[in-house]
Amino acid sequence: MSEATKQVPITLITGSSRGLGKSAALALAERGSDVIVTYRSGLKEAEEVVQAIRARGRKAVALRLDVGRTDTFDAFVSQVREALKQTWGRERFESLVNNAGVGGYAPFVETSEAVFDELLAVHFKGPFFLTQKLLPLLADGGRIVNVSTGLARYALPGLSVYSAAKGALEVLTRTLAVELGARRIAVNVVAPGGIVTDFGGGVMKDPALQKSVIEQTPMGRLGQPEDVAGVIAMLLGPEAGWVTGQRIEVTGGYRL
């Protein structure tokens, strides 16, 4: 997979103290990857994820990161560099998963500039510049997975900024796949649908919404974090080395 194929791969997953990021971290640990966990405020939860990874026989560290604060990225990259040196005795890691996010609901006519700026910062500007800053530490032949949303394909009211930001991230993914191809770095998008987590205040735990989603999903059920985690792990595995610039939607066929 990388220039260090004989070494245990290391994956950095943003927003991995809970939800999809946590499930992806555990799935990767099960498949033999070490993990750099990041969190914004949930230190206790992040430490629990680290312990769960170590219980699976893998190494892990937790680092604080606010993806919406690009002014903190230089310090974060220095922490990553130090963690690689102290924990692994290495200078590079193999995979980056841009997963961290925040929910944001508001009708278009009521969307404030502050909400617009926050959602763009977290879901597009942050991943853009964080990836740029981390590229020197990402191994040649490595992988990048950007987590988008099914809402980049179908539309729901009240989610214009969130959906648009994820759409921009998907376009960026294709461009990065072209620009990083010379380093044999594969870049792809995973686009989840209605997954039952606490994201966005746990909106997908609402029974009425669940019923509506199930009725429009050919697979006949709601998505679980493990459904998405498995796809992320697959894209970071050796079997997906010839896949780049692609969008894989994980929605159970919602609104096809």
The catalytic residues are 162
In this structure, the strands spanning 138-147 and 34-39 are: unpaired
Residues 6+ apart with CB under 8 A from 61: 36, 37, 50, 83, 87
Q: How far is residue 120's CA from residue 130's CA, in Å, rounded to a whole number?
A: 14
Q: Output the CA torsion sign for 205, 211, 215, 218.
A: positive
Vertex 122: Cα angle to 133 and 18 (nearest 5): 100
Q: How far is residue 127's CA from residue 192's CA, in Å, rounded to a whole number?
A: 17
User: What one-letter code names the amino acid at 168?
Assistant: A
Read off the tokens for 108.
């278009």
In this structure, the strands spanning 247-250 and 93-98 are: unpaired
- Give the full edge-to-edge strand order of the sheet including 138-147: 60-64, 34-39, 10-13, 93-98, 138-147, 186-192, 247-250
H or E element, residue 143:
strand 138-147
